[in-house]
Amino acid sequence: MKPVKSVLIMIAMRAEAREFIQALGLKQEENAFDEKLPMMAYSGKVEDLSVVVVLNGIDKRFDVDNVATQPAVLATYVGIQKFNPDLIINAGTAGGFKKADHEIGDAVVSCDTLKFHDRRIPLKGFDVYGIGSYPCIDMPDLTKELSLKQGIISTGNSLDCTPTDLEMIEKNGAEIKEMEAAGIAWVAWTLEKPFMAVKTISDFIDSHEPSEEQFIKNLAKATKNLSDTLVKIVHYLNWQGKQG
């Protein structure tokens, strides 16, 4: 991959993005997108590296963050069209497995491919299409330098996890369950843009405690670690860009 001079960071929720935006002093881009769209963009520079964060925005009917794959796909498309980044990163919180030795707040970088666990289409050809398996870039130097874990990410449109979902996640070989990454990876793959995801653990998949209760309890820790990790990543990308 060529040196990264500009990075587009896709984040679904305001709470997931707030600390990172403040840490880098990013400023909101007024009128970045069609006025009918809810997406919001924040931009700035880390020395030579241009950084843009695009949020999915707020649903005007329900007054909540636009989460899951539908808004993430649209936000990524308009973000690429507007900013034409060298690299796309999807950042956010996620569920992980205790049995994979994850801890609340751990940061995990995507590896192998991004997959879906809730698009079950038992027809020839459509079955593998439903799983997706969209590529992400391998960043061994970054993960080693920053001491970050790597894991396969599986995407679905629900916060909870049904037994069928769990079966598919394990079949996907995934350690991480979340709600946007594979959709964003599909857009990046379609438009031939390098992609990676970084997720911090907010809840355990293999826990008897409901996911929503864990998420609320652990959100502050997960978002703080997400911000810290993203700051380290953009500084690393800036340094790497200078070397190239």
Q: Find where tokens 């593998």 sit.
A: 128
Name the active-site residue from 16, 165, 175, 180: 16
**Is 206 an annotated catalytic residue?**
no
Rounded to 5°, the CA angle 70-15-145 comes to 95
Longest dimension (CA), the chain: 50
Residue whose C-alpha is closest to residue 155's, from 107, 118, 129: 118
Rounded to 5°, the CA angle 94-75-200 comes to 15
Q: Find where tokens 């653990």 sit.
A: 201
DSSP state of 88: E
Name the active-site residue from 19, 203, 212, 213: 203
**Is 203 an annotated catalytic residue?**
yes
Do the beta carbons of residue 91 and residue 9 sit within 8 Å? yes
Q: How far apart are CA 130 and CA 33, in angstroms?
A: 30
DSSP state of 63: -
What is the tally of helices (H) and strands (E) in the chain? 7, 12
Q: How far apart are CA 188 and CA 232, in angstroms?
A: 23
| Active site (catalytic) residues | 16, 203
